[in-house]
Amino acid sequence: MAFFYEQESHTFNEYLLVPGYSSAECISGNVSLKTALVKHKKGEEPAISLKIPLVSAIMQSVSDDNMAIALAKEGGISFIFVSQSIESQAAMIRRVKNYKAGFVSSDSNLRPNQTLADILELKAKTGHSTVAVTEDGTAQGRFLGLVTGKDYRVSRMEPETPISDFMTPLDKLIYAKEGATLTHCNNLIWDNKLNALPVIDNTGRLTGLVFRKDYDTDKENKMSVLDTEKRYLVGAGINTHDYEERIPALVEAGADALCIDSSEGFTEWQKRVLQFVRNKYGDTVKIGAGNVVCHEGFRFLAESGADFVKVGIGGGAICITREAKGIGRGQATSIIEVSKARDEYYRETGIYIPICSDGGIVHDYHITLALAMGADFCMQGRYFARFDESPTNRVLIGGNYMKEYWGEGTERARNWQRYESGGSLTFEEGVDAYVPYAGSLHDNLGITLSKIKASMCNCGALSIGEFQEKARLTRVSSSSIIEGGAHDVHLKDTYGSQRS
């Protein structure tokens, strides 16, 4: 007879925090969100820590090199998606590692024989008003000029007007040579009243752009997570199929941490990957595993050598694993049980293995609940997919801008390597969808982190560890969920825009 859990599983929506005593020191400015990314012994500092408890998901529609750079600036880390060639993924890792703060790679490029209509279409997709014009329309082509919003008037020009007719050509641009310092580039911008400065190598190719608007951001950015060589931290997803070839390539490219991307982690396949890493690299390569939803699953991965363990099956916004296979568990219950297993393992061994809550987060306060329940950090897909920095197109639907968002278990992603399915994707475990466009990562993340810090202060905690010790949680009824939102009033339109 099958084993039956006595209690039903629960979601984050079914819990609230009960406030505790707050001293005068409990203000948001005093709260630290620093958290361990990888396992460490009692009394020792982890090899990798984050300044915020957020990482971006191993997904085509979320985590590329642009997202990795943006999130590392804010104190988190991205795990670049694995459902691509080894060479392509390693190149993304290198771009993050070689990125110099303030120098932006051009990802809006067109040919001179394209038209104003192409400029407008590209701007609608990317939101970028500065477009590089290259010989072949790629970032690697010979640089010919720039188009900015000052170069054209839609009301006075035909859509078919060639870009070559209105672009600012190279011989009329002020630019810097490759190797110039950021200080020199910023001086050129300010001295010549520029909004954008191209940086060109000795073969005439564009190596990057420096923008006036980024100057203050770079000066104010003190949250960056960096390696020992002052380069941004970046993670990479791997699978259980080509790991013997992929892992060495990613390590050589400079990946700081790896994470197995799989629909379910309590498997011999994951144990083989972890053993491969330990046999080849010892503890020098950091690797997370998962996903699991129970005590036994955590223990299995911990004893197999995982540096952190991801928790959650079927709770993601675009995941339909529970629908398709009847497999999964409520995210809150999963985190609570695995946290107990983690603490038990720590008492026995003196080794602390961080756990990552993956899925089930709809509102910002769900992140806070996950941390209170024992998660060390949260992996998110939908949250990050909404931002300018995600790799998907921005599209106009019904008068509203949206961003494309699809799961790794969809026909679009064709990521069969996540599943032990014999080399093909016989049915989907994800959906292809849209999420409301939300603007820049920096602006939105600041609001989210403010909410988390405020909730921690309400519970009298100034660190995540203290929060987990002091937090008090209560289950809520369906009636109290209704009571918790705005009710019995006529809402103005501004209320909805303030919700996560």
Annotated catalytic residues are 319, 418
- Hey, what are 241's tokens? 């199929």
Q: How far apart are CA 90 and CA 82, in angstroms?
A: 10
Indicate the DSSP class of residue 283: T
Indicate the DSSP class of residue 188: H
Indicate the DSSP class of residue 430: B
73 contact partners, CB below 8 Å, separation of at least 6: 101, 221, 223, 224, 232, 442
Strand partners, 211: 196
Whether the Cβ atoms of residue 237 and residue 265 lie closer than 8 Å to each other: no
Given the DSSP bridges, would you call strands 131-134 and 143-147 parallel, antiparallel or unpaired? antiparallel
Q: How many CB atoms lie within 10 A of CB 133?
A: 25
331 contact partners, CB below 8 Å, separation of at least 6: 11, 12, 311, 312, 315, 357, 359, 360, 361, 370
**H runs (alpha helix) in 193-237:** 214-220
Quote the strand ranges of 30-149, DSSP E. 35-36, 40-41, 49-50, 54-56, 77-80, 109-110, 131-134, 143-147
Indicate the DSSP class of residue 149: G
How far, in Å, are 57, 200, 330, 348, 366 from residue 294 at the CA level?
A: 21, 54, 11, 18, 20
Q: How far apart are CA 394 and CA 375, in angstroms?
A: 32
Element (H, E) at 292: strand 287-292
Tell me the torsion sign for CA atoms 335, 270, 246, 257. Answer: positive
Residue 382 CA to its chain's centroid (Å)? 9
Given the DSSP bridges, would you call strands 54-56 and 77-80 parallel, antiparallel or unpaired? parallel
- Hey, what are 453's tokens? 């810090």
Q: How many CB atoms lie within 10 A of CB 382?
A: 20
What one-letter code names the amino acid at 157? M
Q: How far apart are CA 457 and CA 450, in angstroms?
A: 11
- Hey, what are 194's tokens? 């520029």
Helices then strands, counting H and E runs in the chain, come out as 17, 24
